[in-house]
Structure 1
């Protein structure tokens, strides 16, 4: 069986169309509170992601999930206080159920820990079984559920 090669990389200007189409996708939007976006909103978010890459003090890290040279989705985290960050992920529908989300989130967690983050938080809609499984497979511990969302965190145990 052929394994998918998954990597995270910074978004590039050439990724605008796939980024926007992902954020406009109704199927993806059913699981993400702030999606789907309009084209204009998606373009603003895309250019914000690019601008974050050159900020002297960066607060948001958004990455393209690339699978065999194709952008399959997006992952990222936003810094909070006290060495923690909120993170999230989403994939284009044709990449669901193939283990790609798990690989991408594992890479994201490692990247965050390397950057000095000691705790990552995430949440998923309670009906989003795929994202819940990704979080659990990547070492996130379930904290509880509220208003139809499941909340998780993972702690960098290397710093304890």
Structure 2
């Protein structure tokens, strides 16, 4: 498994992932139309070129296939909101846990001290990924479970 920046050649894989009904059932903003997915893809590429970057979106590659996407968006101070989603045929195989663990490591290496995440209450897979990757459950509201991970300095 590889976590990497999106490349121009990933557009079709990115768009099909964002248009997928199975993936969209757990996301408030998915599935997207083709136009919306293409705009999001261009934004992901443009973010890579920004001198001061706010959003970090990564392709999760498994056996040369874009299996999903993980990323974070900087908030105020040194905190960020993060998220992840994967193609259905990669669910339940540990890919999400590995990818999110790498995402957390990347965010903390970039100076983020607090990562926030949430998942729909019925999205047991994402809830388990968050817990396995060190996120602490903060509570539940309006059908969503909220989490945070704190970067504790090593002693």
Same fold (TM over 0.5): yes
Output the CA distance in 1 between the equivalents of 2:121 and 2:70. Answer: 19
Deviation, 1:82, is: 1.6
Output the CA distance in 2 between the equivalents of 1:100 and 1:137. Answer: 12
Q: 1:45 aligns to what?
A: 40
3-state DSSP of counterpart to 1:47? helix
Output the CA distance in 2 between the equivalents of 1:84 and 1:43. Answer: 28
Deviation, 1:70, is: 1.3
3-state DSSP of counterpart to 2:153? helix
The correspondence for 1:117, drawn from 112, 115, 121, is 112
Output the CA distance in 2 between the equivalents of 1:49 and 1:73. Answer: 14
- Higher deviation after alignment, 67-76 or 98-107: 67-76
Per-residue CA deviations over 1:16-38 (Å, capped at 9, x if unaligned) read 00100000000000001100000
Correspondence 1:29 to 2:24: yes
Q: Calculate the aligned-residue CA RMSD, in Å.
A: 1.0
Deviation, 1:69, is: 1.8
Q: 1:75 aligns to what?
A: 70
Output the CA distance in 1 between the equivalents of 2:123 and 2:32. Answer: 19
Q: 1:63 aligns to what?
A: 58
Aligned residues: 155
Contact 1:64 1:74 in 2 (8 A): yes
**Structure 1: runs of 5+ lacking an equivalent:** 1-5
Q: 1:19 aligns to what?
A: 14
Q: TM-score, normalised by structure 1?
A: 0.95
3-state DSSP of counterpart to 1:133? helix
Runs of 4+ in 1 over 4 A off after TM superposition: none
Contact 1:118 1:159 in 2 (8 A): no
3-state DSSP of counterpart to 1:139? coil
Q: 1:3 aligns to what?
A: none
**Structure 2: runs of 5+ lacking an equivalent:** none
